[in-house]
Every structure is written in structure tokens, then in C-alpha cells.
Amino acid sequence: MNVYDSERISEGLRPLGYETTPSLEAADLIIANTCAIREKAQQKVFSFLGRVSRLKRERPGLIVGVGGCVAQQEGEKLLERVPHLDLVFGTHAVGRLPQMIGQIESKRCRMVDVDMCERIDEPLMPCENEACRPDSGKATGFVTIMQGCDNYCTFCVVPYVRGREMSRRPEDIIREIKALVRSGVREVTLLGQNVNSYGKKEGLCSFSDLLHRVDEIPELLRIRFTTSHPKDLSNDLMDAFRDVDKLCRHIHLPVQSGSDRILRRMNRKYSQKGYLEKVERLRAVCPDIAISSDMIAGFPRETRADFKETLDLMKTVEYDSLFAFKYSDRPNAAAARFPDKIPEDEKLERLQSLLELQAHYTAKKNRAMIGSTERVLVEGLSRKSESIGERHLTSDIWHQWTGRTSTNKIVNFVQGDDSNPILAGQIIPVRIDRALAHSLRGKPLRGEGREAMGNG
């Protein structure tokens, strides 16, 4: 979602004459778009702003701003803590950013805007002209379908920094996706804090109905979505993995803990049994579906017995991948006031256990793919290829491409002897010949089964 918001920021500033630059030293305007979901993310914000202070001293005309969740959370306190900061704007103020920048340019003032809108309106919607999209030419893109959250999990800051749940109109979402497709995007990821509850408050179509409508867009090849709250995962949505042709066979289904006692303290509103029943039904509907999840290690009052239940759940599900984190107090979140915090060394030990167990299952699933032929959507040259190219080295890795399977596995491959050029946005068959810790390596099959769409 922050990537999406950063794209909106870039779009909104283009009419003022701003263009993105990879060089901080060359920039006239620096904006840190921030995340507050964990303490470590927030610490990185202040570390970055500390590094920017030197540039501000050397060039007093440089404009420095902070947006996103930390800005929403801290507000005017950020201006007090960071003297070289010019602008603080919250999660609902992106549409008002160009006007604020204009005022700062003309008046050399400092500004704070953390007001929250009561609805998702047009300023929140990105530019639909493909010529102004910073992601033009990319194979994949993000589209926010809703923002905010009404669940108030006790560990989570999202309702306080993103606001209450609000859904966009389906026609606006479809129009934006069509604009992305015209610019070359072939896969979209629909974003929301809880996409499963899309449209319920506003009386719009259901999320599964929205997926069917997106599926009808010509030249779009793939659909993904994130994130799903298990309590709202409906049978209709699970059936979509069977019935919606372009929907990728992957779901991110955060569980956070395997202990019913801890799930109640987290206010998650489902049980371990209920979660596992949904996993079982997902696999019945779509046998090759990949499932990833989130886990929190060391939630307040989590006993060793509670933690063992989490490990046991992981062994039952055998996730394809996992995001695991140590619990950290977040401002306003209810769990910050809970007693009996787990010591840091114990949290770290539990986190390591989660990561080691998941590494076993990820390796197992990756090894099982060796010898298979996977349809891979080409996203572009791999990062390693780009870095080698910058050093002007000649190597096969220089021409290494990267993409993802429908099940969200990263696949890197070299074009080889095929005379047909590989282009970003194609879906091509790749024979998997090697499994690594977090990715797969393979070889594209020569001239077989490639799907090239438009200028993909």
C-alpha cells in the first residue's frame, strides 16, 4: 500500500514540474513515505531523516516532507523533533499534497495536515492517464480498493493511522485497472487492510463479485489480492480460486498465532480450528493453492505452551512462505497497555524458531517444483542482472530475467538460445531446474506457449 501511495505522490507532483530522481543529492524535494506497523520501521524513519539533515544544511531551499502512517501518528510532534522538516502529511492527505507543496514553495512555511477524510473521494484516486503513471511499462501494478480497518486487533495501529474501513466504488476500480492495462500492466494486485470485507459497509458488490468483474478486463492476465482477514474469508471468495480464470493460486492469510487464548487476546475473532477448516476448504477448492501467513512472536502473556501451538499449526498447514516478527508495542494499540510483556531475548528465540521451521517448509516446497514446467509472468531483468549491467560486465547473469508463478514463487532464468525475445509482461513456460532458499531457477522452453499481450 505504501508503494501505491508513493506512486500517487509522484503522479500528483508531476504537474508542478517534479520528476523522480534516484539521487538524494540532486533532489529539490525529498519525501519519506512511512510505515508505523512495527517499531523497527518507525526507527528507520528517524534514521533516514537524520541523514537528510546534512543536505538541508547545505541547501536550505531543499523541501523535506514526511507522509504515511508515522506522519499520521505523530503529527505536529514530528516538526518539533525534526527541525529541518518542512511538511508532515497523513494517510488521507495525499490528494492535498500538491497544494501544500505549492504553498511551501511560495511562502517557505512549515505545514502539517493529518486530517482524515470521511470517505474515499476523487483526490484519493490516482491519475488514469497512462502517460502520467510512473509505473508505465511495468508488468505489474497495485490498485487500492479500500483503506482503513474496523477490526481493532489489539496489536495493530492501522485503524488509528489509516482510519475506519472505506471501500471505493467498483466502477472507479475497474476504470483505474483499465488505465494500467493500457500502460502495459498485465498483473494487478488489489489492496486493502481487509479485502474480504470490501463493499459491505457501503452496500457495494461483494469482493468475489469484484474479482469476477476484474476478470473480464481484456489484456489483463493475472489478478492478486492482499490482505485477507480469516474471519471474513467467505465460501464465495474461496470458490473464486476455482471460478475466476485470472486469479492467481495464492492467498496471504495472516493467522498471527496458533493459540486460541492468544487469538482472543489479539481480538482476532476466529479460532485455530476455524482457521484450519478454511485452509482445508481452500485446498479442496484449489488443490495447488499456495498459502502464506503472518506470525507474531512473543505477544504479551504468550506462554511456551501457547507458542508450541503456533509451531504445531505451522506443521499442520505447511505454509509456502511466512512473515514473522517480534511483538512490539504500538501507540494507541490496546496491547501496548497489556502487562506481562515477554523479554526481548525470549521473543528473539521464538522468532528464530518460527523462521527456522518455515525455512524447512519453503525449501521442501521449492524442491518439489524441480522438473516441473511453470507459467511465469516476466516482470523484467533481475536485480542481479541490473547491478552487473551497471558494472559493464559480460555474463549470462547480465541477461537474467525474473518473474513469478501463479503461486507467487520467484523464478529467475536466462533467455538462452531462443531467437524469440523475452519481454516484460509475457507469460512464458519455464522448466524449473534448481531450488534456492527463496527463489527458483529455470530455463524457458523454446518458443512454446508464450502469451504476449499488446506492448506488454
Is residue 452 a part of any domain in this protein?
no
Check whether residue 422 and residue 392 sit in a common domain. Answer: yes
139, 264: one domain: yes
Backbone angles phi, psi at 141, to 5 degrees: -150, 160
pLDDT confidence of residue 454: 36
**DSSP category for residue 139:** S
User: Is the whole model's pTM more than 0.75, yes or no?
Assistant: yes
Residue 279 lies in a domain: yes
Which pLDDT score, from 0 to 100, does residue 398 have?
A: 53
Residues 363 and 377 in one domain: no
Asked whether residue 453 is assigned to any structural domain, the reply reads no
C-alpha cell at 328: 512490539
In DSSP terms, 381 is beta-bridged to 401
The single residue listed with the C-alpha cell 492482499 is 226
Same domain assignment for residues 101 and 129:
no
Output the domain CATH number for residue 177. Answer: 3.80.30.20
Amino acid sitting at position 13:
L
| Total number of domains constituting the chain | 3
CATH number at residue 437: 2.40.50
Q: What nine digits make up the cell of 137?
A: 511499462
- Other beta carbons within 10 angstroms of residue 273's beta carbon come to 8
Predicted local confidence at residue 120, as pLDDT:
61
What is the gyration radius of the CA atoms in the chain, in angstroms? 23
Q: Do residues 196 and 93 both lie within one domain?
A: no
454 in any annotated domain = no
Q: What pLDDT is recorded for position 140?
A: 96
In a domain, 451, yes or no: no
Q: CB neighbours (10 Å) of residue 283? A: 15
Over residues 332-384, the pLDDT tens digits come to: 999 999 999 999 999 999 999 999 999 999 999 999 999 999 999 999 998 76
Q: Is residue 416 part of a domain?
A: yes
Report yes or no on 455 lying in a domain: no
Q: Is residue 345 located within the same domain as residue 431?
A: no
Domain that holds residue 22: 2-113
- Grid coordinates representing 8 are 500517487
Q: What is the pLDDT of residue 208?
A: 98
Residues 280 and 424 in one domain: no
CA distance 97 to 252: 32
| Residue that the C-alpha cell 511456551 belongs to | 304
The reported pLDDT for the residue numbered 86 is 97
Q: Give residue 386's pLDDT.
A: 45
Q: Which residues of the chain have pLDDT under 70?
A: 118-136, 384-398, 416-419, 447-456
CA pair distance 426, 379, nearest whole angstrom: 8
Residue 430 shares a structural domain with residue 349: no
Residue 295 within a domain:
yes
How many Å apart are CA 161 and CA 66, to the nearest integer? 14
Residue type, position 12, single letter: G
Residues 255 and 362 in one domain: yes
Q: State whether 399 and 343 are in the same domain.
A: no
Alpha carbons 40 and 162: distance in angstroms, whole number: 19
Classify strands 146-147 and 87-89 as parallel, antiparallel or unpaired. unpaired
What is the per-residue pLDDT for 118? 62
Last residue of one domain, picked from the residues 352, 367, 382? 367
Residues 290 and 340 in one domain: yes
**CB of 45 within 8 A of CB of 65?**
no
Choose the final residue of a domain: 310, 335, 367. 367
Check which CATH number belongs to the domain holding 27 and give it. Answer: 3.40.50.12160
Of 374, 373, 393, the closest CA to residue 385 belongs to: 393
What is the predicted pLDDT for the residue at 418? 58
- Domain end, chosen from 322, 340, 367, is at 367
* Residues ≥6 apart with Cβ < 8 Å to 257: 263, 266, 268, 295, 296, 299, 302, 306, 309, 310
285, 342: one domain: yes
